[in-house]
Chain A
Amino acid sequence: MLEIFQYPFMQKALVAAVLISVACGVVGSYVVIKRIVSLSGAISHAAFGGVGMGYFLGVNPVLAAIPFSIVSAMAIGGVRQVAKISEDTAIGILWSVGMAIGVIFINLTPGYAPDLFSYLFGSILTVSNSDLLIMLVLDMIIVAVVYIFRREFLAVSFDEEFSSVTGVHALAIYLLLLALVALSVVVLIKAVGVILLIALFTIPAAIAKQYSYNIRNLMILATVIGIILTTTGLILSYIFDLASGATIVMVLAAAFAISYYLNG
């Protein structure tokens, strides 16, 4: 079976699996403990607007998704401050509006968008070297920011109000965390697609959370779990000739169910 790793596309897919697992393990841990899963879902769907814009402008859709997802993250996170719109409502609006913008941009783009499907459902087997480079750089930014602001992220995730009383700029830290979610979305977009990536955000961290009561260990464990499960999904998708993104999600879900059962 090991011969499948001799193919260059499979090697790249494995590197991609490691890179997405780092983003998911680190940022996903905050997403799960701060309970911003649906908010992260909205950011990921809104990022599709950027993908469409990338097609329209003729730039790498993954790069075009960066400003789009960051702006939508700021919009959702900041809406409470400037308008009487609940975060929940803002999530619902941006979730679909981002997708709609993406679809319209693609409509406006002459010709056919051949790999559109891969941005929706992912295609880890077609990641290019430049995709990997983008993912690597974003991973490094994410890890560096988390390391620098780890005290603030922990304080704000645990008790936002108390943290602001101790002098943490809670809103700024919260928005910074959402910006990291946005960057992680971009890391994941090519491999699993905007629709499926929320499973990668939540499931490794949710499994790890059952075994670790220390945030750093949680992140490391979630990353390792992510690598194991995405690689498993990748191999299964190859063996059974199934869509890679969907297979990875099903492996994650099965692992979560088993872990929950063993812990329950």
Chain B
Amino acid sequence: MSVEAVKIRNVDLKYDEQLVLDDICLDIDEKDFMAVIGPNGGGKSTLLKLILGILKPDSGEVQVFGRDPVKSRHLMGYLPQHVNFDPDFPINVFETVLTGRYHGLFKGYNAEDREAVLKVLDDMEMRDLKDRQISKLSGGQMQRVFIARAIVRDPKLLIMDEPMASIDPEMQSSFYNLMARLNEKMAIILVSHDVGAVSTHVDKIACLNRKLFYHGDVENSANGLEEIYHCPIELISHGIPHRILKDH
């Protein structure tokens, strides 16, 4: 029997006495492509940091591939929302992606690591730019470098915080094509405050605003509706009368 990628049980988390996450339960299976949507400040990034083991829950349990998140970090790839670095930071595309292959203290990067970096840069069509200084890239190119950095060690779970934020609208479909390809090999969880964009591409959706509302399988909840609307639809419109998914 396979182990779930992520298993979260009754997790509470407080910041400064304020409950940011309230009794969260969530399961992500090995081949899931899940979007967590919700308003800014609803705890989306916090949830990802729990899965990554950067934050610890005040109560409840988080397991990644059946173990403590910190112990499963080698199985996770992470795309942060912002990378805040000095514009002249002395690092090029190749070296940036290489940091995703970190092995531990006193262990250098080997030929295999360098090959893995070149391969993932090929996949991202970024190999020509491998020697380019990182801030001499466009926003979309930079995002591809950070995705490359996240997947360069073949993670089993890809975690993305607002991946669409710095991608041009016309790049969205190629982004989702890439995600579909990656999803054959790994589970993916992304968070987004943009409810419309994600709905037609992911297969599971959850809404997070301190509490988590799980809407389950997108296809099951959307198939009938698409027939009525004859177009891809925004699945969730919180607070707007034409609610499509069932009430929370």
* With A155-B99, A166-B100: A33-B54 Cβ-Cβ less than 8 Å: no
A213 near B92: Cβ-Cβ < 8 Å: yes
Among the 9-residue stretches B83-91, B178-186, B208-216, B221-229, the one with 4 or more Cβ atoms under 8 Å from chain A is B83-91
Closest to B149 in A: A162
- B76 interface residue per 8 A CB criterion: yes
A151 near B108: Cβ-Cβ < 8 Å: yes
- A209 interface residue per 8 A CB criterion: yes
A159 near B54: Cβ-Cβ < 8 Å: no
B102 near A155: Cβ-Cβ < 8 Å: yes
How would residues 131 to 172 of chain A score, 1 for a CB under 8 Å from any chain B CB and 0 otherwise? 000000000000000001101101101110111111110000
- B114 interface residue per 8 A CB criterion: no
B52 near A33: Cβ-Cβ < 8 Å: no
- B7 interface residue per 8 A CB criterion: no
A165 near B99: Cβ-Cβ < 8 Å: no
B91 near A165: Cβ-Cβ < 8 Å: no
CA distance A167 to B106 in the complex (A): 13
- A6 interface residue per 8 A CB criterion: no
Distance in angstroms from B133 CB to nearest chain A CB is: 4
CA distance A217 to B149 in the complex (A): 23
- B73 interface residue per 8 A CB criterion: yes
How would residues 203 to 229 of chain A score, 1 for a CB under 8 Å from any chain B CB and 0 otherwise? 000000110111101100000000000
Distance in angstroms from B245 CB to nearest chain A CB is: 32
A158 near B89: Cβ-Cβ < 8 Å: yes
Partner of B88, one of A151, A161, A209: A209
Q: Which residues of A contact B46 (CB under 8 A)?
A: none
How would residues 127 to 150 of chain B score, 1 for a CB under 8 Å from any chain A CB and 0 otherwise? 000000100000000000000010
- A103 interface residue per 8 A CB criterion: no
Distance in angstroms from B46 CB to nearest chain A CB is: 13
- B104 interface residue per 8 A CB criterion: yes
Quick one: which of B52-92 are within 8 Å of A by CB?
52-54, 73-74, 76, 78, 80, 83, 85-86, 88-92
* With A161-B80, A218-B90: A167-B99 Cβ-Cβ less than 8 Å: no
- A80 interface residue per 8 A CB criterion: no
- A15 interface residue per 8 A CB criterion: no
Partner of B133, one of A161, A164, A213: A213
- B105 interface residue per 8 A CB criterion: yes
Distance in angstroms from B166 CB to nearest chain A CB is: 15
A214 near B90: Cβ-Cβ < 8 Å: yes
Distance in angstroms from B189 CB to nearest chain A CB is: 14
Closest to B77 in A: A165
Closest to B103 in A: A167
A148 near B52: Cβ-Cβ < 8 Å: no
Quick one: which of A27-60 are within 8 Å of B by CB?
29, 32-35
CA distance A158 to B88 in the complex (A): 11
CA distance A158 to B85 in the complex (A): 6
A165 near B85: Cβ-Cβ < 8 Å: no
B102 near A151: Cβ-Cβ < 8 Å: yes
Q: Which of B76, B104, B109 has the most CB of A within 10 A?
A: B104
Q: Which residues of A contact B74 (CB under 8 A)?
A: 167
CA distance A168 to B107 in the complex (A): 12
Q: Which residues of B contact A148 (CB under 8 A)?
A: 106
Quick one: which of A160-215 are within 8 Å of B by CB?
161-168, 209-210, 212-215
CA distance A224 to B91 in the complex (A): 20
Q: Which residues of A contact B90 (CB under 8 A)?
A: 29, 33, 209, 212-215, 217-218
Q: Which residues of A contact B103 (CB under 8 A)?
A: 167
Distance in angstroms from B171 CB to nearest chain A CB is: 22
Q: Which residues of A contact B54 (CB under 8 A)?
A: 161, 164-165
* With A162-B80, A162-B99, A166-B100: A35-B91 Cβ-Cβ less than 8 Å: no
CA distance A236 to B83 in the complex (A): 43
Q: Which of A159, A164, A166, A209 has the most CB of B within 10 A?
A: A166
Q: Which residues of B contact A165 (CB under 8 A)?
A: 52-54, 73, 76, 78
Q: List 5 A-B contacts (CB under 8 A).
A: A33-B88, A162-B100, A166-B73, A167-B104, A213-B91
Cβ-closest 7 pairs across A and B: A166-B102, A213-B133, A209-B88, A165-B78, A215-B90, A155-B99, A218-B90
